[in-house]
Amino acid sequence: MGNQKVVIIGVSVVVLVAVIGTVAVTLSSSHSSAAQPTEEKTLSTSQKNIQEFCSPTDYRQTCEDALHSVTGNDTDPKQLMGAIFNITIDNIKKAFDHSSVLSEAAKDPRTSEALENCRELLDYAIEDLRTSVSKIDDLSFGKVGTFIDDLKIWLSATITYQTTCLDGFENTTTDAGESMRKALNSSKELTSNILAIITKVGDTVSEFNLGLSRKLLSDEYPSWFSPSKRRLLQLSLSELKPNIVVAQDGSGDVQTINEALLHAPKKSQDTFIIYIKEGVYKEKIQVNRSNSHVMMIGDGPDKTKITGNLNYVDGIGTFRTATLGVVGDDFIGKDLWIENSAGPAKHQAVAMRSQSDRTVFYNVRFDGYQDTLYAHANRQFYRDCNISGTIDFIFGDSASIFQNCLIIVRKPLDNQRNIVTAQGRDDKRGASAIILHNCTITADPEYYPFRAKLPTYLGRPWKIYSRTIVMQSQLDDLIHPDGWLPWNGDYGLNTLFYTEIDNRGPGADKSKRVAWKGVKKVDYGHASKYTVENFIKGNKWLPQTGVPFFPGMLPQTQADRIH
């Protein structure tokens, strides 16, 4: 990985540093009255600075020990922020190297795959941390709030990648999982600490109202959007002028989607448009991280079908079963049908996995059974999509909003129950949630007669801080009166955040819902935190794509009655 230039954070970081300094001063004032005079005398200035810097974190000792090991007497907030990023990167790199060592000795196929996944995921984590620091160099006063929003998303993704690495060792027969857990322990704590510090900075920005006008910022084009990308989804196919055409019958430039991706430029800011003509494409596809700003457009969600059948029962880990995997940022998909055809008996079988930041899917159909749609990490927006499945079929740890989507529950195996969502937030400050807004949850015709015997639940807590919001949606009578299902005993029931507001239909009756501490009643004001304009800051980036969306809550009496 080489030496990182992470500790050098340019002059343009002054604004952020000033905020961090304000946090440190505030914390110092709040702690000084409680400190004993003898303690004040024995602590050096650098020790006190480090303590104050680390005070918002959950793993304070890890934070303080790490900073003491690399800093001298110069411990101003800028230097400490650079150091903690650099230390975290180094720790993840050590875990990355450890996975390589373990891989050489691994003989179990599932363990080998899990270690391979770890190397990929930890590489993503390192790159996100580097990106976070590099963006600081471009920071100006008017963009502090926007940068903090971005940073919280990227840090949450970094935590997600480390967690996903460890999840891959479930049901393996070796001790490699425990070895990797130990290797990642400090880096997970350090990443969580950075997120805690940045969250505190964000709170301070809001508290002191440092001249940030979100209304003005919402009309700006972000730096990652080129003029050619604006409002693409409002153009006709002829106006779009695809860069490459895929057609099985030979009428296009290439016959497979993977061939088309070979022509996509690396790290380009210009949208690369792939038009996929009507047909059934039996391919496993990944849009790599280097392929940003890729757009795939088909002939419609009942005509352009991308299908596969990789699954857990046949020996493939969940992460690798996706028919379509999207990693490169700013991906747009429109008028497509993405399927995993493995069936309910094959258990985990993903149709689509996305960790692309600022993903947009518009008028796309996702079909599968268990684990259909893996909304893995970062910001994602789904509009007018159809999603079918059985168990945990919308899952992941992204900040994802599903708007005006038709969610179709299929018939599971006779010993199974259906769960629509399984949200995977693993840190209480994580910037992720699954949000269903003005969607419809209904039964597939084959499942309809069995909906009482094999009930459906809105969600269950995959991770301890699972967060799911269902609002202004149509819930048909397949929803069990409990609403939500435990994962395992009382795991997460006190720490999750689940809420329903202003839903409609026979399944929306909340009178018999479970009474867990984490199931909350919220008003419109609270619910508005989970809208497009507030939760994923969609007003800043969705208008440029041209996807239709409503930014806030719909009026209570005027919610769309779609589908």
Structure tokens of 418? Answer: 């259906």
The answer to whether 276 and 303 have CB atoms below 8 angstroms apart is no
Structure tokens of 507? Answer: 């399944």
Scan for tokens 């030496």, then name that residue. Answer: 3
Identified catalytic residue from 384, 392, 426, 427:
392
CA distance 356 to 123: 15
Q: What are the b/e assignments for 65-80, b being 16+ CB within 10 Å?
A: ebbeeebeeebebbbb
Tell me the H-state helices in 12-76. 14-32, 37-42, 45-54, 60-70
Query: Which residues, other chains included, contact 525 with Cβ-Cβ below 8 Å and sequence gap of 6+?
Result: none
Q: Extract the runs of DSSP E, i.e. beta strands, from 304-446.
A: 304-308, 324-326, 332-334, 337-340, 352-354, 359-362, 365-367, 373-375, 379-383, 386-389, 391-396, 399-403, 406-409, 418-423, 433-437, 440-443
The answer to whether 254 and 275 have CB atoms below 8 angstroms apart is no
3-class DSSP state of 19: helix
CA distance 131 to 503: 39
3-class DSSP state of 106: coil
CA distance 195 to 185: 16
The answer to whether 176 and 111 have CB atoms below 8 angstroms apart is yes
CA quadruple 70, 74, 75, 81: dihedral, nearest 10:
-70
Q: Specify whether 392 is catalytic.
A: yes
Scan for tokens 């190397």, then name that residue. Answer: 119
109-114 contacts, C-beta under 8 A, 24 or more apart: 109/315, 110/171, 110/172, 110/173, 110/315, 110/317, 111/169, 111/172, 111/173, 111/174, 111/176, 111/177, 113/168, 113/316, 113/317, 113/320, 114/165, 114/168, 114/169, 114/172, 114/176, 114/177, 114/317
CA distance 122 to 536: 24
The answer to whether 497 and 520 have CB atoms below 8 angstroms apart is yes
DSSP per position, 257-284: HHHHHHTSPSS-SS-EEEEE-SEEEE--
Q: Extract the runs of DSSP E, i.e. beta strands, from 384-466.
A: 386-389, 391-396, 399-403, 406-409, 418-423, 433-437, 440-443, 456-459
| Residues known to be catalytic | 392
